[in-house]
Copies of this chain bind each other. A is one copy, B any other.
């Protein structure tokens, strides 16, 4: 049974006050139903904290009569919620953090809509994409004047086991003790643990301007509702812009255990760092987990060594100790500080990183396109990493996402133009994901690979 709040009016937090008539009209229900739908569904997602379902359609089907209206007032704007889930209300009052998330959704949906519809340059071409990613981020005030490099991204699965969760809290605590701020992709598990640990540590070191950045996008926010600890929620337009945001604003990345999605992120990162233009760029990456997850982490490491090779493995470090992990990140940020100071490069956005267009735009889930994707050991390393990343994107889709699952059902498994040695390693890795429950399968039927080697 669902509990709802029939009506609630949210006054805007200070930094979301002022909208033009044009903007208010854009968000109105009748004016522009597509934008309104995104606005409504993202708002619904952020209101569903601690909702346990992983099914992205669950919210849509449960809170069918949820509605959100924007109202102009003499001191700014207000949002009226109708039939909102009661999960984020305490004694009838909305939790302030959740309220800020609703307004953050409003801010970003508006801004991206404006860029997409009224701006001629927005997302055309590599440079424009990067400038637009910058512009969306700047508009959220995530860049803070005078801040030294201290923003650590934490990646990893959202359905990790309890030991891994406690471990991620400890990493967050030790990062926090060293004054690091945390950025994640929102959601539970490895996304939430580090923030909880860091909150306690920040209190102890009186780190009063903590940034807990959550980077999401309309397609996944329903499955990964942001924790209210997140104090800067940012809704990027799609997954690729979100990945670019992660690597450009952060000063180091901790990868916790996870599933195919985490592997995709790791390959994205390795692919970029292996680009020859980036060879001089220091960027600390660490794969970190408790001793009990050692075999899993070593298997992932082995997969990368067997495919991309030692050069790929040289881009990250492995650790099983929270304090060591935190110290490695701290040292990494200090190196970034000194390297960027030398060339007067910005601390708050990594302009210097070369990101090729294939990392900036989505890879289509299309049997023909996939068949033409070359995955061979003799490719240049960064190309191989790029194509492996695409492959994992295909695997996630083929196993989990509605469109991918449907394509496989209709046209059979994707045919891969791939070295046999790679496929063998892949099979092995995926089976262990499944056996360790790191891969959520849509139903309780067993796992079947969604691909086949093209002979």
Contact = CB atoms under 8 A, between A and B. Distances in A.
Interface of A: 14-15, 17-18, 20-22, 71-76, 90-91, 95-98, 100, 117-121, 127-128, 130-131, 134-135, 138, 143, 145-146, 177-178, 196, 199-200, 203-208, 210, 212, 228-229, 231, 327, 330, 340-341, 344-349, 351
A142 to B, nearest CB: 10
Contact of A91 (B229, B327, B344): B327
A119 B128 CA distance: 15
Contacts of A200: 196, 199-200, 229
B100 A206 contact: yes
A91 B346 contact: no
A199 B203 contact: yes
Nearest to A348: B18
A340 B128 CA distance: 42
Nearest to A198: B203
A428 B161 CA distance: 44
A73 B121 contact: no
Nearest to A23: B131
Contacts of A128: 22
Given A91-B178, A97-B203, A206-B100, A74 B347 contact: yes
A131 B134 CA distance: 24
Contacts of A134: 20-21
Contacts of A146: 14, 75
Contacts of A210: 203
Contacts of A74: 340-341, 344-347
A128 B347 CA distance: 37
B206 A96 contact: yes
Contacts of A130: 21
Contacts of A228: 203-205
A61 to B, nearest CB: 27
A143 B206 contact: no
A164 B425 CA distance: 48
Contacts of A14: 145-146
Nearest to A138: B18
Contacts of A20: 131, 134-135, 138
A228 to B, nearest CB: 4
A373 to B, nearest CB: 31
B21 A351 contact: yes
Given A18-B348, A345-B74, A205 B127 contact: no
8 contacts: A14-B146, A20-B131, A22-B121, A73-B344, A74-B341, A74-B344, A75-B346, A91-B178
A131 B110 CA distance: 15
Given A72-B345, A119-B120, 11 more contacts: A15-B145, A17-B145, A18-B143, A71-B344, A72-B344, A72-B346, A74-B340, A74-B346, A75-B146, A95-B177, A120-B120
Given A72-B346, A74-B340, A74-B346, A97 B206 contact: yes
Contacts of A91: 178, 327, 330
A20 B127 CA distance: 10
Contact of A131 (B18, B21, B121, B340): B21
A145 B344 contact: no
Contacts of A206: 96-97, 100, 231
Contacts of A138: 18, 20
A205 B96 contact: yes
A90 B17 contact: no
Given A118-B120, A121-B118, A90 B18 contact: no
A73 B341 CA distance: 8
Candidate in A76, A117, A143, A341 with the most chain B CB atoms within 10 angstroms = A76
A351 B20 CA distance: 9
A23 to B, nearest CB: 8
A-B residue pairs, 6 tightest by C-beta: A204-B228, A14-B145, A96-B206, A96-B205, A97-B204, A22-B131
Given A21-B131, A74-B340, A75-B347, A203 B229 contact: yes
Candidate in A18, A97, A330, A340 with the most chain B CB atoms within 10 angstroms = A18
A128 B25 CA distance: 13
